[in-house]
Structure 1
Amino acid sequence: MPPPSHRPRPRIGRAGVKRMNRFTRRIGAVGVLLLLAGSLAGCGSGGDSGGAGGASSGPMDATKAGLPKSADDISGTIDKTKVKKNLVVGVDNPYYLFHHDIDVALAKGYFKEFGIDSVDIKTIEDPLPPLIGGSLDLALYDTDTAIAAAKKSGQGLRFLSVYLGGEANVLGVGKGINTGADLKGKTITGGQFGSRNDAIIRQLLRDNGVEPDRDVKIVSTGGQSNERLQSVIAGTVDGASIQLRHRTVLEKAGGKVLFEETREVPQSGWSANKLLQESPETVTAFLAATLKARQFITDQANKDEVLTIMRDKKFEIPTEYADAYAAENAPDYHVSDGGFKPADMDKFISDQITYKTVPDGTDWRQYTYLLPLWRAQKALGLPLNPALADM
């Protein structure tokens, strides 16, 4: 089955997305960011502005010095006269799950409610260089890669809000494999060696009594989760890290999901750079509109309307993938309020330091700015998440 897409794109999947040891591959691009900044014609901070808001008077981070003293100091009122009217954002993934917050917010009028007229989505393999260079206003990307880039670049990049806060670790296998014992001597891939996917598929095997360095042959592969699925179906490998939405496709081909785990991991989210410095009000407005859309999306009663909006936008969503809507748009997976538990972020970044995708000694709080998220949550009548007391 061809990957679901808006147009043919180079990437698909999320927990199963191609990561290619992103710290070395993507952070190496920081040295040439200014050359790449103009690569998207018509993007970024130039052009129409609804009046840029001034930068925050305090440090733009989530360290103690950068936190409001109390929830009463956080304003949920958004001044639309200070909101930039037209935005350009970058998303690295063509799957509808990474576009529908914006497309639903546009269709339902939520952006206009908060002062934004249009949002142009650019699907780019790596949106961080143009974000740092200023030709994108915001980017949706892997949390660890964004925080690593913020530390490496020193350009004011800040992580803002979690998009996907759950991680499904799924081992799909081919015909004839029904137990862990059947994996003996078989070939398994989690993707590229050194990636998070590779590490967590090894851990999934261990958790189920299979020693990856002894009982199976782990191979390194490129591509995305859809390509790994097709490799299992074709018999190129015996098992691979796949996505929840692949279950039905694999079962129809005679395979099965052998092992799976789902856990809370703040794996991806929105980041901003120059826009945050020039118009923090716009960042708050963007988060408020997209979180309002996400509240609508994660209400399972709205599934048919959301899928209709996305299909009208020419996204291909096969029945098998539509069937995964409840899992992929669960409020604790496609995080309905954009928040996270600081303890989960602590563990996630610590793990990523171990996997060498985040530099040693990185304190995520120095490269995360939560005031726009808290203001957006307050504007929508949501509890602050993370709670100030937990920070």
Structure 2
Amino acid sequence: MFTKRPLAILVGAVALALAATGCSGTVESLAGDDTSSGEGRSTLTLQDSTSYTQLPIRFGVEKGFFDEEDLDVRFTQVQDAVTGVATGELTFAFGPTSNYLRAAEKGSPIKIVSSAFRSKGPFFLVARPGINSVADLKGKTVGIAQAGSSMETYTRKILSDNGVNPDDVSFIANGVNEQAYGTLTTGQVDATIIHQPFPALGELDGKSVTLARGWDYLPTYHTGVLIAGNDVINDDPELLRRGLSAYFKSYTYAKEHYDEYLPWLQAKLGTIDPKAVELALQQEDDIWDNNPAIDPVAIADTQDVEIAVGFQDARYDADKYIDTQFIPQEYVKDFSYPQPAR
């Protein structure tokens, strides 16, 4: 059972804005010679990100997959992806399914237009050396990225399934990626939920041990989607179709050509041990499925989990906020899920 209670959030040195979607900044062009698209071309505006999970998009730009769709690609930094797509500043954006569904239910003019390159929780619960099991986290401090996030949901589920009452753990909103890893290695938290490549890096450097993988505990919880604003959906549907086609071609090619993608990725993540980057790809290879289809059963399961953990009051009609007409059918696959850990 999940335990419901108010979170005691300890605010440390981490800037929590970074735990969301980034900060304001400038627009960068990675294709095209100027700020306007040429004849017959369109501009696809995406959220700027150099994170490990988003780099296949840049890889696809360099490979020419977006150019094949007559698309120029621009990246811009925004404070919030929901606001970005709702205002048309972004053509589409990647992010957590449950957060985006809640935003739509509350009135944001957005819809889910596709699953992302993966939709199963790519989260790893890692701890400082000396903590060897989830049970050891009782009475300890655990980073949950951002209060109310899907990463907190996974953390609570992992704790509960291993006999640890979440009430017996102190949660800290400690950011994501480098920020979260820093709170672990500097002793601000005893454990944290985190994305790759940091579990692999911590393992190789001897700075962390992996206690659990998210998808082993909530295999049908839907975690990754692409959203677009209603205005883009209504006014420029062809831009969405071409953009999603290039997106999935980029991710699919990267997954099927590790021999080419891995050295490229290692070069882009130059401050991270190349061995850790390779290990990171290996450790989550089985959930990188590049399936744009949206499983309604998984969406329902996700709502039920959010209700159980106390982040949602009741089920709502998620179908109102999902528009599948733009999904590139050539990438659609049968739904498959890993066996839950027991």
2:176 aligned to which of 202, 208, 224: 224
The count of residues paired between Structure 1 and Structure 2 equals: 307
Aligned to 1:161: 114
8 A Cα contact 1:90 1:124, kept in partner:
yes
C-alpha displacement at 1:174, in angstroms? Answer: 1.8
Deviations 1:86-107 (A, max 9, x none): 221225x53032131x223322
Question: Is 1:143 matched with 2:115?
Answer: no
Aligned to 1:333: 287
8 A Cα contact 1:11 1:94, kept in partner:
no
Aligned to 2:59: 104
Identify if the C-alpha distance between structure 1 residues 315 and 88 changes in structure 2 by more than 3 Å, giving closer, same or farther: farther
Structure 1: stretches of 5+ with no match in the other structure: 1-9, 23-35, 51-80, 387-391
C-alpha displacement at 1:366, in angstroms? Answer: 0.6
8 A Cα contact 2:27 2:75, kept in partner:
no
One-letter amino acid of the counterpart of residue 189, structure 1? G
Identify if the C-alpha distance between structure 1 residues 233 and 222 changes in structure 2 by more than 3 Å, giving closer, same or farther: closer
C-alpha displacement at 1:359, in angstroms? Answer: 7.2
C-alpha displacement at 1:315, in angstroms? Answer: 6.7
Aligned to 2:338: none
C-alpha displacement at 1:120, in angstroms? Answer: 0.9
One-letter amino acid of the counterpart of residue 306, structure 1? Y
Aligned to 1:272: 228
8 A Cα contact 1:202 1:212, kept in partner:
yes
Which secondary structure state, in structure 2, belongs to the residue aligned with residue 347 of structure 1?
helix
Identify if the C-alpha distance between structure 1 residues 113 and 253 changes in structure 2 by more than 3 Å, giving closer, same or farther: same
1: CA distance between counterparts of 2:148 and 2:104? 21
2: CA distance between counterparts of 1:112 and 1:191? 36
Aligned to 1:235: 187
Identify if the C-alpha distance between structure 1 residues 248 and 268 changes in structure 2 by more than 3 Å, giving closer, same or farther: closer
C-alpha displacement at 1:85, in angstroms? Answer: 1.8
The alignment's C-alpha RMSD in Å is 3.4
One-letter amino acid of the counterpart of residue 283, structure 2? A
Identify if the C-alpha distance between structure 1 residues 341 and 49 changes in structure 2 by more than 3 Å, giving closer, same or farther: farther
Map of 1:51-62 to 2, 5 A cutoff? none
Which secondary structure state, in structure 1, belongs to the residue aligned with residue 212 of structure 2?
strand
Aligned to 1:291: 248
Aligned to 2:197: 245
Question: Is 1:213 matched with 2:213?
Answer: no
Map of 1:369-384 to 2, 5 A cutoff? 369-373=323-327, 376-377=328-329, 380=330, 382-383=331-332
Aligned to 1:260: 213
Deviations 1:339-379 (A, max 9, x none): 23221111113333555656744322111110110xx22xx
Which secondary structure state, in structure 2, belongs to the residue aligned with residue 209 of structure 1?
coil
Larger radius of gyration: 1
Aligned to 2:261: 306
| Stretch deviating more after TM superposition (354-363 or 338-347) | 354-363
Identify if the C-alpha distance between structure 1 residues 357 and 284 changes in structure 2 by more than 3 Å, giving closer, same or farther: farther
Identify if the C-alpha distance between structure 1 residues 354 and 130 changes in structure 2 by more than 3 Å, giving closer, same or farther: same
2: CA distance between counterparts of 1:350 and 1:265? 9
1:122 aligned to which of 76, 81, 84: 76
C-alpha displacement at 1:309, in angstroms? Answer: 4.1
Q: TM-score, normalised by structure 1?
A: 0.67
Which secondary structure state, in structure 2, belongs to the residue aligned with residue 166 of structure 1?
coil
* Aligned-residue identity in percent: 21
Identify if the C-alpha distance between structure 1 residues 359 and 367 changes in structure 2 by more than 3 Å, giving closer, same or farther: farther
Which secondary structure state, in structure 2, belongs to the residue aligned with residue 213 of structure 1?
helix
2: CA distance between counterparts of 1:222 and 1:307? 29
Identify if the C-alpha distance between structure 1 residues 257 and 233 changes in structure 2 by more than 3 Å, giving closer, same or farther: same
Aligned to 1:318: 273
Q: TM-score, normalised by structure 2?
A: 0.75
C-alpha displacement at 1:41, in angstroms? Answer: 7.3
2: CA distance between counterparts of 1:218 and 1:293? 40
Structure 2: stretches of 5+ with no match in the other structure: 1-14, 30-34, 336-342
Identify if the C-alpha distance between structure 1 residues 261 and 128 changes in structure 2 by more than 3 Å, giving closer, same or farther: closer
1:352 aligned to which of 306, 317, 340: 306
